[in-house]
Amino acid sequence: MSQGEYAHMLAEFLRESGGAAVIDGGLATELEANGADLKDALWSAKCLFTCPDLIRKVHLDYMEAGASVLITGSYQATIQGFLSRGFSQEESESFLRRSVELACEARSIYLEKCSDCSDEAKDRTKYRNRPILIAASVGSYGAYLADGSEYSGDYGKEGNLEFLKNFHRRRLQVLAEAGPDVIVFETIPNKIETQAYVELLEECKLHIPAWFGFTSKDGTNVVSGDSLIECASIADSCTEVSAVGINCTPPRFIHALVVSIRKVTNKPILIYPNSGESYDPIRKEWVACSGVSNEDFVSYVRKWHEAGASLIGGCCRTSPDTIRGIWKALHGV
């Protein structure tokens, strides 16, 4: 597909979604809310082999809340991470494929329910037949390290361009071959990894559109201190990239970040902030009472949309209730 075809596909999806589409919410933290133990270096990727049915359930919960974009459970799923746990190369690649399959299965189940209850008015708020995209998640190298460096962008001596490209290459190929609608690079913390992703997309010829989500802790730069505008410009320059935006960032920074990104791209802007809570990477737990309520989070949605965001959802510590609120805010319910 060409850049024009990628752009047309996303424009048509947004048109059919009413001008703005709802991305799902936090997968890992919702898995925890459903009883999964994620205190593990693989984080939510652990569930791909311990409780895959639970991943499918959470995908369904988010669609029932209004999400039209499902992000797969592959954020922290890396071949290197699975190999370090004793899995074979073949098994490691199968877990990556499984993350896409689970989301596709959930979508099929949901759309079948939509058809089954189309005449029951009481279910129309939960089951609405609509286009739903599967976005295969690619987390940063820092996510694999599981030491919090995805929130600093400091990879030390290993963080050079060729190393990062080699780290991500096979994983990216396997995910693309599994049949998602889009690849989403999430929580990108620095300029060097942005460049690595762009070069991989250009070299691998995956024939699938990509979205880029950066993370910021100051409302101006990405978390490494690199310029957000420079990073967004690099993403915008790539013909395979059809949307650029922000994820896993406190809600209070989002409006200014959307305005900044709009200065360097005409592509759709995606945003899915976290709840604003702080994460302790050493204790691997969230700091209580450090975020915003669902009501406060949802109150920002119209402002974000008016600033230019057209793909809006939630990241860590957001829930189906958050997504339900976003859908209502965007559709005036």
Annotated binding site for Zn(2+): 248, 315-316
Instruction: Collapse the DSSP code of 328 into the 3-class scheme (helix H, G, I; strand E, B; otherwise coil) and give the result.
Output: helix
Picking from 47, 48, 148, 41, the residue whose alpha carbon sits closest to that of residue 84 is: 41
**Residues at the annotated binding site?**
248, 315-316
d(C-alpha 211, C-alpha 109), whole Å: 26
| H helical segments located in the chain | 3-16, 27-33, 47-50, 52-65, 79-84, 89-116, 141-145, 161-177, 191-204, 228-236, 254-262, 294-299, 301-307, 320-331
d(C-alpha 217, C-alpha 230), whole Å: 16
* Burial class, 277, CB count within 10 angstroms (exposed 0-12 / middle 13-18 / buried 19+): middle
For 178, other C-beta atoms within 10 Å of its C-beta total 21
Produce one character per residue of 106-140: b if its CB has 16 or more CB atoms within 10 Å, e if not.
bbeebbebbeeeeeeeeeeebbeebebbbbbbbbb
CA distances from 127 to 156, 201, 331 (A): 48, 35, 15
Contacts of 122 (CB under 8 A, 6+ apart): none
Instruction: Collapse the DSSP code of 222 into the 3-class scheme (helix H, G, I; strand E, B; otherwise coil) and give the result.
Output: coil
